[in-house]
Amino acid sequence: MREIHLENTVILKTDVRGAFPGSSFNREAAENAFRFHKSLPMYQRTELVSLDAAARQCGVKAILLKDESTRFGLKAFKGLGGSYAVFRILCDRLGLDHTKAVFRDFLTEESQKRCREVVFVTATDGNHGKGVAWASRLFGCKAHVYMPAGSAEARRKAIADAGAESAVITDLNYDQVVEYASRMAEEKGWILIQDTAWDGYETIPHWIIEGYLTMGEEVCEQLAGMIPTHVFLQAGVGAMAGGMLGYLSNQYAESEPVFIIVEPSTVACLYESAKAGDGQVRSILGDSVTIMAGLNCGTPCSITWPVIRDRAAFYCACTDAVSERAMRALAHPPEGSNAVVSGECGAVTFGAFLEIAKDEEARRTLGIDEDSVILLFSTEGNTDPEGYVRIVSGQ
């Protein structure tokens, strides 16, 4: 292993472990999720934006950014996972075949009566909880949402507005609030919908991750035969990152991209797990601080860690400045280019790429050149509107 230290990013180069054994996050799983999502009345495919001016400036063939700021009106991709998990849970409750059922199957009088009996609970940094609240209301269920200390009031209000029965900011850190939500589920008889996994709690997180694969189905359609050479994936616990990595590895098995995991430097649990070199996860303890609220998670997801461990070639630990610069660059692009509204978590992968692109050693190490096609996922828009304006205005 080798580390490269840039101005605001540390890069870890790893030795991936040979042939990829495959992943359950495959085309079949993605097609099931995609079919369900397309049955929702508000479904629209999000845009794959070509950052042509940035590509020219950085000396690469293309930079393509999947803009999730318009997903279901929630300003983030998380509604994909939350809605698919709710769908799968309710399919089991109502005796429906998830490979055939669509949203309208839940609108009968009997189905609605049974859905109103279901209460969900979750812990969130913001976007996941909003997705669960929105999906719960969509199906006629209830949802209680708990948030860690330091969460922005704007994020809490957005969760309440999305349909949560209650949305509460606690005095706990993220891992502690996950434990609290789990305990509330046991005490109240509610159903926990959490976007990370641990021993004994894996089925629902797996469904959440499968829901994210709709992004992959859309991207592969939008690429129209173009194969990315490098894929940057932001990670908190690594659920989305591992799901997309597994899916894209399966899709592009004959010409697999280089996968790069990007995390906040203050809570880089996947970076530290990979650096340890023994294949086991490492947790970041304590109350870490970062503007990237949705990535402020201290323990890797047990479902996706093996996928990330075996296929990610590089890990980047970035300071908040990396995300802030990228947010401003996307909000204020060169003349003739379209602006992209990308929040703190959404922009960090573009920021990491920009750091790498201007450093010759880093470019050479990652194999980035004039033929490179860079794929990025802007996972959220301005989910903290006041914070977004402050950052992109440079205040």
Q: Strand, helix or coil at 191?
A: strand
Distance CA 339, CA 329 (A): 9
Which CATH number applies to 2-76+213-392: 3.30.70.1150, 3.40.1190.20, 3.90.1720.10, 3.40.50.1100? 3.40.50.1100
Residue 117 CB coordination number (10 Å): 10
Domain boundaries, given as residue ranges, for the chain = 2-76+213-392, 78-204
pLDDT for residue 331 is more than 90: yes
Distance CA 275, CA 271 (A): 6
pLDDT tens by residue, 107-124:
999 999 999 999 999 999
Distance CA 341, CA 30 (A): 27
Beta strands in 117-268 (DSSP E): 119-123, 142-147, 166-169, 191-192, 230-234, 258-264
Q: Give the pLDDT confidence score for residue 337 in this predicted structure.
A: 84
Q: Give the pLDDT confidence score for residue 20 in this predicted structure.
A: 61
- Residue 334 sits at φ, ψ, to 5 deg, of -60, 155
- Please choose, from the candidates 169, 179, 112, 116, the residue with its C-alpha nearest in 3D space to the C-alpha of residue 143: 116
Fill in the amino acid letter for 151: S
The residue-averaged pLDDT of 308-334 equals 96
Average pLDDT of the chain is 95
Q: Is the CB of residue 324 less than 8 Å from the CB of residue 384?
A: no
pLDDT tens by residue, 253-265:
889 899 999 999 9
**Joined tokens for residue 106:** 């839940």
pLDDT band at 191 (very low <50, low <70, confident <90, very high): very high
pLDDT tens by residue, 273-306:
999 999 999 999 888 899 998 899 889 999 999 9
Q: Which H or E run includes 236?
A: none
pLDDT tens by residue, 43-71:
999 999 999 999 999 999 999 999 999 99
pLDDT for residue 236 is more than 60: yes
- The pTM is what? 0.94
Catalytic residue ranges: 78, 125
Q: What is the CATH number of domain 78-204?
A: 3.40.50.1100
Whose tokens are 């891992």? That residue is 175
Residue 137: Cβ-neighbour burial (10 angstroms; 0-12, 13-18, 19+)? middle
